[in-house]
Amino acid sequence: MSQPTADRLPQAWLAAAMERLPDGVAVFDGDWTIRYANRAATRLLGAHSAELAGRNLWIALPEVAGSVFHSFLLHARTLGTPVTWRGFYAPAGRWLSATAELADDLLQVCFREVADLPAEGPADPADEQVAAAGEDADHDRLRFLAEVSEALITTLDRGESAGQLAELVVRRLADWAVVVLLSEDDGPGEEAWAHRDPARRADLATYMTGRLRGTGDDAAMVDALLTGEPVQITTIPEERVAPSLPTEEVRAAWRRLDTASCTIVPLRARGETFGALALMNAVGRPPHTEMEIATTVEVARRGALALDNARLYGQQQQVAETLQRSLLTPPPQPDHLEIAVRYRPASAHALVGGDFYDAFPQPDGATLLVVGDVAGHSVEAAAAMSQLRSAVRTLAYDRPDSPAQTLTRVDGVLTGLGFGTLATVLLARIEQPGEQARAGLRTLRWSSAGHLPPLLLHPDGTADLLDSPPERLLGADEPTLRTDHEATLQPGDTLILVTDGVVEHGRVDIDTGLARLTGALTELAGVPIDQLCDRLLDRIVPGRADDDIALLAVRCHPEHDR
């Protein structure tokens, strides 16, 4: 029937004709939604529902997933030419012959039952063995794909995921494999490789690290990246690879790899091609079959999704690190004071949460110290922390009041602006009037809005907890009078300010945590302040942090030491 003739036929007549066809006809879109399936298709596929149109294939026919027919459909979608398959379709217990072709992102599949074989499945022993072998192969393949998925969700490190993907495919599909990931900023990309034979891994490393890029031997990979389709090379003459082999060592390594053919499958996820999986076979192993290529396409699909998740997680980390650096600035180093800071995020959350520290000189020469903790670990908590930190910094610098007076002003600002969350803050000033300077002494003046008390470590190894009656948190919408507290700092004293991630690590109560912290400090007297911070955290938080951690330490040096 010519196209002009078909155009003149009523739509209802065409639909009725399709329904009367003995052959099955089905159309799938890019998301595997069944756009159309005639009666024969519903019957031949063994569907439980008479109406398949509008349903997702894997939901409407879950038994198709992992079957040879599944591989056929996936393979057909990656090619621009018709693909034909003939085999035993186990979900419906019949032999099928199917042809599929991609047109305008719609996969059109026509299939029929093979008439020269019994409808109940193979009858004679030879056919039964073929069917049984096919089903076993399906189950084995499904187990392999499940192994791929399970292995690739164990890490969010992109390089580690690429290495795992290469290791997985050489166990089953190739002699050696390379995973190539493109760079997002036009810089060098990442590569990971693996060989199934441990004796050849050194040769593979020599070749991969020594070969020259951009010499023309990677044209097939470029084609796969540009088209988004698998590319197979059934023979690899040495003259094709020779320009990329700059030294005799690299040439000898390539010869020992004895590579004869390869298949390159693009890595694509969320509409973007960002790399390729290259499977290489040595002499003695034939080029990949269509079924092996279909399996590789499915492996690459699962691997690409895992790699893209790792990429997105890496981007999130980078954003968080940038935010962290902008919000948690390096501390100043005033005369005769040495300040060290540490920040550790909770392992289960983004790299910046609600904990923060700050230290800066005030116009009157005093040094202001701040530690605080805004409720939460999310980006919203980090944003609230940024507002609070900016408010404290601005108000404290604008008018160098006492810590209690500054916190009262901050309270009023937060209430007036509708801060909307609670926060604990400890604000401290280190002052040194003239008479104290001559004696090498300093005054510590602090006020706490529901925060943990400061700790003071003396040179002789004793440690004091500078406790004070608790006062209301910031953001409670009920501003209250704040109280200042004072202590004298001697030369060699070290002041420690922390957030509750240090004290409550391991789910201990505050009193137990403070006692543990005090005990750990007494063993670190005389240790340089940077080492003190690291050793203190290593002792108290040796593994993953339960909560965000901020630590600020100040050491008072004798006047003649600095």
Q: In the chain, what are the domain boundaries?
A: 3-119, 153-320, 328-556
Q: Which amino acid is at 202?
A: A
Quickly list DSSP for 59-88: HH-GGGTTSHHHHHHHHHHH-SS-EEEEEE
**Angle of CA points 22, 27, 28, to nearest 5°:** 145
- The token pair that represents 419 in the structure block: 């801060």
Kindly state the tokens that stand for 440.
Answer: 């090498």
Q: How many CB atoms lie within 10 A of CB 301?
A: 18
Rounded average pLDDT per 10-residue block, the chain, 562 residues: 52 74 90 87 82 80 73 76 82 86 89 66 44 56 78 82 92 93 78 94 95 83 83 88 93 94 90 90 89 83 88 76 72 89 71 82 94 79 84 92 94 86 94 85 95 95 93 82 94 95 87 93 93 94 81 86 48
The candidate with the shortest Cα–Cα distance to 211, out of 165, 249, 260, 181, is 249
Nearest Cα residue to 220 out of 231, 209, 228, 234:
231
CB atoms within 10 A of CB 379: 16
Residue 284, both tokens = 């003695």
What does the pLDDT read at residue 1?
A: 45
Query: What order of strands is seen across the sheet that includes strand 190-195?
Result: 190-195, 176-181, 272-282, 259-269, 231-233
> Which strand ranges, in their side-by-side order, compose the sheet holding 455-457?
337-344, 549-556, 494-498, 455-457, 463-465
Count CB-CB contacts under 10 A for residue 120. Answer: 8
Q: How many of the other CB atoms lie within 10 Å of CB of 28? A: 23
3-119: CATH architecture: 2-Layer Sandwich (3.30)
Residue 142, SS3 per DSSP: helix
Spatial distance between the Cα atoms of 390 and 410, rounded to a whole number of angstroms: 10
State residue 9's pLDDT score. 53
- What ranges in 61-197 are assigned the alpha helix state H? 68-78, 125-152, 158-170
Look-up of token digits 């009157």: 364
Multiple choice CATH, 328-556, 3.30.300.30, 3.60.40.10, 3.40.50.2000, 3.40.1180.10:
3.60.40.10
- pLDDT for res 318: 72
Report the alpha-carbon distance of residue 376 to residue 324 in Å, rounded.
15
- Tell me, letter by letter, the H, E, C secondary structure of 497-526: EECHHHHCCCCCCHHHHHHHHHHHHHCCCC
Q: Are 410 and 394 in contact (CB under 8 A)?
A: no
- pLDDT at 527 (0 to 100): 94
Give the count of beta carbons closer than 10 Å to the beta carbon of residue 470. 12
pLDDT of residue 65: 67
CB atoms within 10 A of CB 490: 14
Assign domain 153-320 to its CATH architecture: 2-Layer Sandwich (3.30)
Contact assessment for residue 297 and residue 78, using Cβ atoms and an 8 Å cutoff: yes
Q: Which of 483, 454, 488 is nearest to 470 (CA)?
A: 483
| Those residues with Cβ within 8 angstroms of residue 296's Cβ, 6 or more apart along the chain or in another chain | 169, 173, 230, 263, 265, 277, 279, 288
Task: Please enumerate, as own/partner, the contacts of 226-230 that have beta carbons within 8 Å and a separation of 24 or more.
Answer: 227/266, 228/78, 228/266, 228/268, 228/273, 229/78, 229/79, 229/80, 229/266, 230/78, 230/79, 230/263, 230/264, 230/265, 230/266, 230/293, 230/296, 230/297
Question: 93's torsion region: left (phi>0), alpha (psi -120 to 50) or beta?
Answer: left
Scan for tokens 């003459």, then name that residue: 237
Phi, psi (5° rounding) for residue 82? -60, 145
pLDDT value for 109:
93
CA dist., res. 343 & res. 537, Å (int): 10
Virtual CA dihedral for 322, 325, 326, 328, nearest 10 degrees? 140
Q: What is the pTM of this model?
A: 0.55
What integer pLDDT is reported at residue 394 of this predicted model? 93
